[in-house]
Structure formats: C-alpha cells, structure tokens
Structure 1
Amino acid sequence: MKSYLIHLIRHGVAEGNMLGQYIGRTDSPLCEQGIEQLLQIKQNQEYPAAQAYYSSPLTRCVQTMQILYPHAKPVLLDGLRECDFGDWEGKTAKELEGDPAFLRWMESGQQAAPPNGEDSRAFLYRVCSAFEQLVEELLRSGMTSAAVVTHGGVMMALLASYGLPRASAYEWMTEPGCGYTLRVTPGLWMRSMVAEVIATIPHGEQSAPREHTVVDLAREAANRAYGKEHSPEN
C-alpha cells in the first residue's frame, strides 16, 4: 500500500533562544551560533530527501529551510507559527517570575492564555488544521514525501495529537535542527487520523531505528536537552 513520509524538523537556534526569551510570534532570526550548528549537523549527518517543502513563515524557520534544503521553495503555512505568548513575548522566565498571571499559567501546565496571547486550545486547533491541510495536499499531489520546518511547540503538539506510538507532548521535545519522520498510510489516516513515527532526524550512524525505539530516543533527547524543567517554546 502506498504511504507518504513527512519529515518534521525544528528550526535552528534563534537570537531570542540564546537570551532565554519567549519568542512565539516574535520574528527572531537565527543567531550566528545557530547557523553554524545547522551547517555542522548537515555536514556530518544526513537530512532526508523530500519532494515537497513547507515552513512556518517566521524567519528562523525559513532560514533553516534555506540551509538544510537550499534548492527548496517552501510553501509558507501561517498555521505552523509558534504559540503567541502575548504580553510575555521577548521576556524571560526570570523577568516574569513575579507576575501572578505567569505563575498561574505555569501551574496550569500552560493551558491558560497568556495576557493578550493564545490559549492552548486555540493553538492546538490552529496547528492541527494546518497539518491536516498539509496531509490532504500531499495525498492529492501524487508526491510521496515532504519536509516541514517549524517550531518546537508546534512539533510537540502535532506529535502528541497524531503520532504513533502515543507519547505526551513533553516526550516529543527535540533539539534545534532535529526532528522526526512520520509515515502516513491513507487508510489509517482516513480511519483514525494517526501517523507512525518511524525515525529520528537527522540520520547518523543509526539511520533506521526500530519503530518501537523512536519514543525512547525522543525521551532521551528531551531529558538531555531540557531535563524536567520548563523551557520557553520557540
């Protein structure tokens, strides 16, 4: 049966990331270290080939796509933007630690909306709608693979919503320039709207991990990069 591969890749390190800022809607470009890191990863490891290309319209994602796939002319999907942090955009957790609204937001598991920002339901609806549109376009196009550069929070939301094996959003955290390959089988997608997560990106020495190890690899990467503490989405 024909299947389709979607490669979800997190953008490189942006200037706001280096400062520990919340940069959801903020159009923070890649920092010099982020560019160098992506070039080094690309030199030493393999990014999967694709026939179609999609990206968040924010500069840090478009720049990442240009570095990893210089020949690509990606379709920019507004729905793949990061969460809008409202009044907290450009601020650090340290700067916000005395804000009662920020403390409530943290205690709620980031379910409530930041002041003048986007709540979790609105964010999830937006990114899932964009992803479903992307899948439908891929199924209609005749092409069988797509590379998608977007944000960490977007990827976590999508993988927790559609990914098999099932795992929490936290367990799908990944480092800048890294990601996951999803296999969409039309019958399974139409019936249950799920996609198999079959590999990590980029491909190094272990380029084809067994399917049941992918979540274990994701958990190890999340713990190595973030531990159990909160880190600003980007």
Structure 2
Amino acid sequence: MTATFLLVRHAAHDRVGNFLAGRTADVPLGRPGREQARRLASRLAGEEFTSIYASPRRRTQETAAAIAAASGVEVETTAALDEVDFGTWSGKTFDVLDADPLWQQWNAMRSLVRAPGGETMLEVQHRALALMETLARRESRKKIVLVSHADVIKAMVSHVLGLSADAWPRFDIAPASISAVAMGDWGAKVLALNEEIA
C-alpha cells in the first residue's frame, strides 16, 4: 500500500531571493509567478492526483488554486505545510540577516538552532512528515499534491534520503518545482527531485 506525494514549491513572487518572506503579511505571486503557476498546473494535469493540500500562505494558495483550476480537484489548507516560522527574522532582507550571528549559526546548524521567536527545522520536519504519514495511511494507492515552501520540502526530502536537516544546501528546490516521494508500510523513497517548470 503506497501513496505518492508530489511536493510542489509555490511559484515565484517578485522578491524571491531579496528578503525572507516567511510568515509576513501575505506575499502574492508576481506576474511571472502567475504564469509559472499556470505552466505548473498544465504539467500536473496528466498526473491523476486525487487531493491537493497547501500551506496557508498566499503564494502557496495562489499556486494551488492554479493547479485546482486545471484539475478540478479542491484545495485543502493545512498548517502542517506552512512556511518555517522564522519569528523576528520574517520580512528582513538577506543583507540584514547576513550581519546577524544567529542567522549564520542557523544556516550552519539548522537541526539545533531555533529562529528567534520561531521554530527549529526538526519541528518543521516533524509536522510535515506527520501529515505525510497520516495521508499515506488514509489515501493509500493515491497520488497527492502538497504545495509548500522550499525549506519545508527540503526537510521532507532530507528525511526520506536519511540526511540531516543540516543537509539543506546540498540540493535545490526551485520555485514551481516538483519533487516526488513514495511512502508506504515498507518505508519511503524519493522518485524525483526538483523538476523545474521553465
């Protein structure tokens, strides 16, 4: 009995790479991101998935809505897929963050360092994997789309690959990318990683 998860990172917003969006006031997709989401939806249309679950952030909801519009499958919102709670770091530019010694520690040892007023990557990993395990039992033999954020997807993939949460820089999860994981009573394995939608 196996469930297949299509792990989708939200499409691009206009400030990707400039600041840490985190859980700040909802950041929408930019015009290029909306087009990216349409191409992503077209790519996923042939996958015959039965469910879509998405983080509550606006950028994930807009991405999931595009997938839903192309497939006719409704979106369910879940906090388990929410962006990392970066606490007081949310909304800051990377120039500001790079000058913070705790930010440097966080990026060197995310498994142990807590974002100020936020959560650790192990907590992120725990909530995301708990959702996957629940869905794998409930929706066995089905294909499920999970729309989330780069660090959350990296946490899930790292666990399946037997890597530490500190392995996050070893692979990319691009905006509007698709990674695939199969999970069942036998364990889990990565089927695809960071398929980018041009």
TM-score bucket of the superposed structures, by smaller chain: 0.7 to 0.9
Judged with a 3 Å threshold, the aligned counterparts in structure 2 of structure 1 residues 23 and 128 are, in CA distance, closer, same or farther, namely same
CA distance in 2, matches of 1:46, 1:161: 25
- Which residue of structure 2 aligns with residue 157 of structure 1? 155
Identity of aligned residues (%): 23
Instruction: Tell whether 2:93 aligns with 1:92.
Output: yes
Instruction: Tell whether 2:30 aligns with 1:31.
Output: yes
One-letter code aligned to 1:154: V
Normalised by the size of structure 1, how large is the TM-score?
A: 0.70
Q: CA RMSD in A?
A: 2.6
Instruction: Tell whether 2:123 aligns with 1:122.
Output: yes
Judged with a 3 Å threshold, the aligned counterparts in structure 2 of structure 1 residues 3 and 105 are, in CA distance, closer, same or farther, namely closer
Instruction: Tell whether 2:48 aligns with 1:52.
Output: no
- Which residue of structure 2 aligns with residue 216 of structure 1? none
Instruction: Tell whether 2:21 aligns with 1:5.
Output: no
Alpha-carbon offset, residue 179 of structure 1: 1.6
Contact residue 54 and residue 64 of structure 2 kept, 8 A: yes
CA distance in 2, matches of 1:104, 1:203: 30
Alpha-carbon offset, residue 172 of structure 1: 4.3
Alpha-carbon offset, residue 110 of structure 1: 6.8
Gaps of 5+ in 1: 189-193, 205-234
Instruction: Tell whether 2:191 aligns with 1:198.
Output: yes
Normalised by the size of structure 2, how large is the TM-score?
A: 0.81
CA distance in 1, matches of 2:174, 2:66: 17
Q: Give the strand-richer structure, 1 or 2.
A: 2
Alpha-carbon offset, residue 109 of structure 1: 4.5
Contact residue 152 and residue 174 of structure 1 kept, 8 A: yes
Alpha-carbon offset, residue 10 of structure 1: 0.8
Judged with a 3 Å threshold, the aligned counterparts in structure 2 of structure 1 residues 177 and 115 are, in CA distance, closer, same or farther, namely same
Contact residue 65 and residue 75 of structure 2 kept, 8 A: no
Instruction: Tell whether 2:22 aligns with 1:21.
Output: no
Contact residue 12 and residue 177 of structure 1 kept, 8 A: yes
Contact residue 40 and residue 67 of structure 2 kept, 8 A: no
Alpha-carbon offset, residue 40 of structure 1: 4.0
- Which residue of structure 2 aligns with residue 223 of structure 1? none
Alpha-carbon offset, residue 122 of structure 1: 2.3
Judged with a 3 Å threshold, the aligned counterparts in structure 2 of structure 1 residues 102 and 69 are, in CA distance, closer, same or farther, namely same
Cα deviations by residue, 1:23-64 (Å, 9 ceiling, x for unpaired): 222221211121122334555x45522012211121111111
3-state SS of 2:62 partner:
helix
Alpha-carbon offset, residue 202 of structure 1: 5.5
Instruction: Tell whether 2:148 aligns with 1:147.
Output: no
Alpha-carbon offset, residue 137 of structure 1: 2.3
1:73-88 paired onto structure 2 within 5 Å: 73-88=74-89
CA distance in 2, matches of 1:100, 1:170: 18
Q: Aligned pairs, how many? A: 190
CA distance in 1, matches of 2:114, 2:52: 31
Cα deviations by residue, 1:167-214 (Å, 9 ceiling, x for unpaired): 544344221111222223x330xxxxx32222357599xxxxxxxxxx
Judged with a 3 Å threshold, the aligned counterparts in structure 2 of structure 1 residues 120 and 199 are, in CA distance, closer, same or farther, namely closer
**Larger gyration radius, structure 1 or structure 2:** 1
One-letter code aligned to 2:151: G
